Structure 1
Amino acid sequence: MRRRLAAAIIAAAALAAAHPLRAEQASPRDLWPQALASARDGDYADAAKKTSDLLTAGHAYGVKTYPVYATAAAGLARESAKATPELSAWAAKAAHDLDPASPSVAFSEADRAAAHGEWGKALPLVAQGFARVFGNYRARTLGHADLLLVVALAIALTTVVFAIALFFRYGRSAAHDFRELLGTRVHGGSVTVLAFAMLFLPLFLWLGPMWLIFYWLAIFFGYAAPAERVVAIVLLLLVALVPIVVDADATGIAGIDSPVMQAAIASNEQSYQPEAMRRLQELLAIVPDNATLHLLLGNLQSFDGMEEQAAQHYRRAIELRKNYAGAHVNLGNLHFLTNEFPAAITEYEQAQADDPKLAIAYYNASVADGETYKFDQQARMLEKARGADPGVIDRLTRNPPPQKIVMYHPPLDEAWAITRELSQRKELASLFGNYAQFAPAASALNPVTLGALASLLLAVVLWLAHRRGGYANACIKCGRTFCHRCKSARESSTYCTQCIHIYLKRDGVSLDTKRKKLEEVTEHHSGMQTRNRVFATFLPGSAQMLEGRTASGAAGMFVFALLVATAIFIGRLAPAIGPVADVAHLIVRIGAVALAVVLWLTMSLPVYRRRVTG
């Protein structure tokens, strides 16, 4: 009897040692100010101890990273590098320990290294920071948003340049058709003036330059070559989508910092975000009937060692959603961490009944069974967990969490859905971060989208209405315009009548006429070459559009605009790579400018080398 009692006492002591009460741990919000105060006082040993205590408390509470504290420490390391090197060294180490995968910490360290002239150290840190961006949900989302903004700008600029290229290529031909059209109603020299004015009709109607671009794309559509028509259709559709995409993009930029998303990201990444908990509490005071919000608040309170409050919110989540398996799992975790294993197993079993596909419910139950020496039951639960989600369980068995059990985190897609739902509630409009709302139907009712679609429709209608009668054309030699009324349809459609006799038929034409025509042809081609060189100087790809090589020209123009926009706006849009990342911004800017120069050399230099042909 005494041996059994002794064994029971030893087992109880072992369990108590394996799972110390989390209440004995200090709150992270108390430890970091203490560590910072000790460091500022010059007691770096105590500061290091407090930082170690903070990390230990985080392991006990399920916290992996402290991004807010890490960013603050990285900033302190940068600011104090010259005045107090010891403080800077402590802060740099603390920043790395608090969030080893933070992109902002890596970028801040790169800035500090560059300030000391250590570029060999700064460049790898910048590369490391960019690699970390892809592993950080918020940074990745904002980076994607920034990319969409510069792409939208590049599309807009490419469309403008393409419309201008069509004007130079087909403006004279369109003016010829306008003269023929107006000549039946108006007589005298005013016909030419009116025909030219028709090319700029939106400006005379007091409309803006945007409508002039759409107008040109519509009226020149019928004159354009097939490849140009395809590019025009693609660009008009893209321009129509740009305002909608930018609106959705802006909603995402604002929504990523909403209380719900901030809490959901902190929960999923197991990062300590005290501000997220405060903002979520404010939101729950207005929206007390959302089960997911209660579970998220319980998770954040659990990270802060507030077990009783967390349990209350988990129970409230279960009341609001009867079969909420995730809430049962997290409530069972609280029992597990206080060595109440039978109660924990009961909650895990309820979670299994509510959601048989929730693998962590079986996994946590297997861990609890192991703690109570029910090894056969533990093996069965682990096998069921593998059956529910083998990938997750394999990762957990290879790298078990510090707390042994796994917390349930609501999916980020669910958090986005809640954010969109709450943005439509008027009582939340005054609460910061809840105003991000995207309505596709309302977003589509903007002048750019409607104008682009109207331009595309008008272009197709005009093309179908006039393609049988034909369009005016310009002579490829001298540039003179002509239509089916000016010359026989049986003659060449690419030469005017004079050029046909001089260059094709070579019949009896006086030398004086030939000389004048040659001068006209030379002047025409010289003017085109000068025009193309001017455009190529400032806008690589535009000269190719003017020459009729539309696909390569549009692609080159788009890439050039994208690179220039990146160089100009890096660091000026959403803070995807942190509030301070001067070296990273500089490297991106230099890289974008270098690629833009290479593209300019590739596309513009051949234009300069071309000779005038007559």
Structure 2
Amino acid sequence: MKHLKPLICFLASLIFLSSSPTLGQSQIAEKYFHLASSLRLGDLASNPELKIAFKKLRSALEKEDELEVFNQNNRILEIMNLLGTRNLFPVADMCMAIGRAALARGEKTPAILAAESATKFAPDYAKAHFFLASALLSSDAKNINSISRSLIEGIKILYSDRIQRDSLVSAIFKYVFLALVLMFVLTFVVLLGLHLNTFAADLASFFPSRVEGAWRYFITALVIAVPFALGGGLALLLAIPLFLWPYLRTGGKVTIFLFTLFMLLVPHVFDYMAKSSAITKDKTFRALHILSRQTWDYSSKSALENAHQKNPDSKLVSFSLGLLNKLRKDKREAINAYDAVLERYPQDVKTIVNKGNVYFVAREYENAVKMYKMAIDIDPQLLEAHFNLSNTYVMMFRTGESEAEYLKALSIDQNRVQSFVAMAGQNHDKKVIDFTITGEDIKRYESAMGEKAESFSQTSWGIYFGSISMRVYQWMTIGFALLIIFSHFFWRRSISHQTCISCGVAFRPPLLLPSNKQQCNQCVAANISRVGIPSAKKDRKTKDIRVFKERRAKLAGLMDRLLPGMGRTYFQEHASAMAFTFITSLIIVYGADLFISEYLNYKSAPKDALHSNVIYLGVASVYWIMMNTVLKKDFY
């Protein structure tokens, strides 16, 4: 237990590394960012002031001019306030790209400044807070308070944000799934090697004539290859535990039980993982999710426009476009979007009120009044319409009518009116209340995505399992579970050999011995002082035992140094072996995914790939150092 704390810290680091941003993440290759001009600045093109401010910010970051960075941060925040958005995700992405480039050059101050700017421009972006934590860590590892605050803030956002949370869970599930598969494969390979002689001896005993030497292992190889020939890698993975079952100790059988449980749960976990990925990667869902939080970015605008082109009759998409363009202060586009809804649903009071709000923001108060009155005629108890009409009359200096509408609103729901007043504040555009995207709207859209999510699930399943369908897989795993039960009774009775724990040879005992007493007759004789046994024979056997133990200890030590956990598996210390083998597998799987992605997506050279993933390499190195020092296992 004394090593539990460093292990927990290490696992927390893995979770931090595997956190994958989705909310607001643009498609910029930010790891290879050098100049802002090399990025796609389409997100800034429609707002020249924002574009100029960002270029000045970039220049100030490169010069490490903290005062100018402060000024340009405030300027961009002012623009964001005018736009009516809490987050500008593409700008935050580009700030992090600048910070990554600075870290690659060893310039820590501009990296921290860029990370701090990113958290200001996108406070709801978990990756911005994680990047700030990594920049602070690279600058001063002793600054625990600031690093912890950034990490905690990022984790809080991940927990509260549906898209980022589901994306993180899907990523974790993917890596855990692959790591568990690799862990079980490595474990079964080691256990098969440990009991290969005994397994081969039992197979040879089924033949009428005695099979010895190389032919025995040739037959064993053929038997092991049969499942692979019939059902591929999955069938082989299921067959090896069946071959091993009668030779294993209790810990080994518990490992196979956990493997069986894992295989039975895979379809359910995989289905959840695939469907979550389908939903979180859907650009329209992401746009609706962002709008539900009263913010937007240009990627969500593009997604909604594409969705509207594909399905112009969608009420939710048209309504969302109107809401987004109102936030952008694009009156014409917002009115067009709301008119598209009213053309099909002329009595939709939410759309009518929001259309009135567009006129209010444009200071066309007469048109706004017409819209609010139209909504009240349809629904006299519509609180938002009365409240907005009251505020519109204020702007028109019609105080008597404003007071009358305000009193009507209070009579409908006094508490909500007070909350509306608190929300309005001093900002002109916030004085009227919009109907927004609700959780029910998102749930309805999500349920309508069922067919698309199912298709994505089947496609993802095919990537991992090839031509084996989910139904076939389920029948295979159920059959495997039944065969384990059958093997326990039939195969256990059919075997005649056991592995000697002292010298490792396969021997045939007269009675089935318990696992802790499996010794051949020669080893038993070598360890007793009975008269009549030649001393030379005892010495020779004692030497064989010593040589076997030394060779076994060296092999286990080598395996544990290269792949931590494997040596413990070889010594059948299954609890600690599974824990360390899983961590080792997780590091291998995550690292392989990182470097393969670097090569496929960016065609980066090995040196560049290593340089851009220095944090992962550092964590992996610390783990291997710990496994070879404080957690080192001395066998025997």
The TM-score normalised by the length of structure 2 is 0.67
Deviation per CA, 1:214-256: give whole Å up to 9, x if none: 3322211232233322322322443566688568656755654
Structure 1: distance between partners of 2:610 and 2:149: 15
Code of the residue aligned with 1:290 in structure 2: it is S
The equivalent of 1:390 in structure 2 is none
Structure 2: distance between partners of 1:80 and 1:230: 50
The equivalent of 2:403 in structure 1 is 373
Structure 1: distance between partners of 2:206 and 2:345: 72
The equivalent of 1:357 in structure 2 is none
The equivalent of 2:173 in structure 1 is 148
Code of the residue aligned with 2:188 in structure 1: it is A
Code of the residue aligned with 1:152 in structure 2: it is F
Alignment CA distance shift 1:329-1:511 (3 Å): farther
The equivalent of 1:344 in structure 2 is 372
Secondary structure of 2:634's partner?
A: helix
Alignment CA distance shift 1:605-1:349 (3 Å): farther
The equivalent of 1:158 in structure 2 is 183
Q: Are the equivalent residues in 2 in contact too, given 1:328–1:351 (CA < 8 A)?
A: no
The equivalent of 1:177 in structure 2 is 202
Structure 2: distance between partners of 1:187 and 1:139: 60
Alignment CA distance shift 1:69-1:488 (3 Å): closer
The equivalent of 2:289 in structure 1 is 265
Structure 2: distance between partners of 1:50 and 1:112: 21
Secondary structure of 1:373's partner?
A: helix
The equivalent of 1:14 in structure 2 is none
- Written as runs of structure 1 = structure 2, the 5 A alignment for 1:154-553 is 154-182=179-207, 184=208, 192-198=216-222, 200-202=224-226, 205=229, 211-238=235-262, 249=273, 256-314=280-338, 316-317=340-341, 327=351, 330-331=354-355, 333-334=357-358, 337=361, 339=365, 340=368, 343-344=371-372, 347=375, 362=383, 372-374=402-404, 375-383=406-414, 385=416, 397=422, 403-404=430-431, 405-411=433-439, 412-421=442-451, 436=456, 438=458, 446-447=467-468, 450=473, 455-469=480-494, 472-483=497-508, 487-488=510-511, 494-500=518-524, 503=527, 506=530, 508-553=532-577
Secondary structure of 2:247's partner?
A: coil
Q: Which range moved further: 297-306 or 335-344?
A: 335-344
Using the TM superposition, give the Cα deviation of residue 457 of structure 1 relative to its aligned residue in structure 2, in angstroms. 4.6
Q: Is 1:99–2:127 an aligned residue pair?
A: no
Q: Are the equivalent residues in 2 in contact too, given 1:362–1:384 (CA < 8 A)?
A: no
Secondary structure of 1:605's partner?
A: coil
Deviation per CA, 1:63-98: give whole Å up to 9, x if none: 22222234335656887999xxxx999988975654
Q: Are the equivalent residues in 2 in contact too, given 1:75–1:108 (CA < 8 A)?
A: no
Which of the two has higher C-alpha Rg? 1
Secondary structure of 2:47's partner?
A: helix
The equivalent of 1:69 in structure 2 is 91
Deviation per CA, 1:571-592: give whole Å up to 9, x if none: 8769xxxxx9999954454234
Structure 2: distance between partners of 1:36 and 1:447: 51
Using the TM superposition, give the Cα deviation of residue 533 of structure 1 relative to its aligned residue in structure 2, in angstroms. 1.4
Q: Is 1:594–2:622 an aligned residue pair?
A: yes
Q: Are the equivalent residues in 2 in contact too, given 1:260–1:415 (CA < 8 A)?
A: no
Code of the residue aligned with 2:87 in structure 1: it is T
Structure 2: distance between partners of 1:255 and 1:446: 25
The equivalent of 2:603 in structure 1 is none
Structure 2: distance between partners of 1:41 and 1:470: 76
- Identity %, equivalent residues: 15
Structure 2: distance between partners of 1:396 and 1:46: 36
Code of the residue aligned with 1:475 in structure 2: it is C
Q: Which range moved further: 261-270 or 209-218?
A: 209-218
Structure 2: distance between partners of 1:347 and 1:529: 83
Gaps of 5+ in 2: 1-43, 395-401, 599-607
Q: Are the equivalent residues in 2 in contact too, given 1:329–1:347 (CA < 8 A)?
A: yes
Deviation per CA, 1:310-329: give whole Å up to 9, x if none: 24434544666799776466
Using the TM superposition, give the Cα deviation of residue 452 of structure 1 relative to its aligned residue in structure 2, in angstroms. 5.8
Q: Which range moved further: 590-599 or 322-331?
A: 322-331
Structure 2: distance between partners of 1:158 and 1:446: 24
- 1:32 aligns with one of 35, 45, 50: 50
Gaps of 5+ in 1: 1-25, 354-360, 387-392, 425-434, 575-579
Q: Are the equivalent residues in 2 in contact too, given 1:567–1:590 (CA < 8 A)?
A: no
- 1:559 aligns with one of 569, 583, 599: 583
- Count, aligned residues: 548
Using the TM superposition, give the Cα deviation of residue 140 of structure 1 relative to its aligned residue in structure 2, in angstroms. 4.4
Structure 1: distance between partners of 2:189 and 2:68: 68
Alignment CA distance shift 1:37-1:583 (3 Å): same
Structure 1: distance between partners of 2:112 and 2:584: 42
Structure 2: distance between partners of 1:352 and 1:171: 83
Structure 2: distance between partners of 1:584 and 1:188: 55
Structure 1: distance between partners of 2:530 and 2:349: 90
Using the TM superposition, give the Cα deviation of residue 558 of structure 1 relative to its aligned residue in structure 2, in angstroms. 0.6
Structure 2: distance between partners of 1:550 and 1:78: 42
Structure 1: distance between partners of 2:266 and 2:484: 20
Alignment CA distance shift 1:196-1:101 (3 Å): closer
Using the TM superposition, give the Cα deviation of residue 198 of structure 1 relative to its aligned residue in structure 2, in angstroms. 4.6
Q: Which range moved further: 164-173 or 405-414?
A: 405-414
The TM-score normalised by the length of structure 1 is 0.70
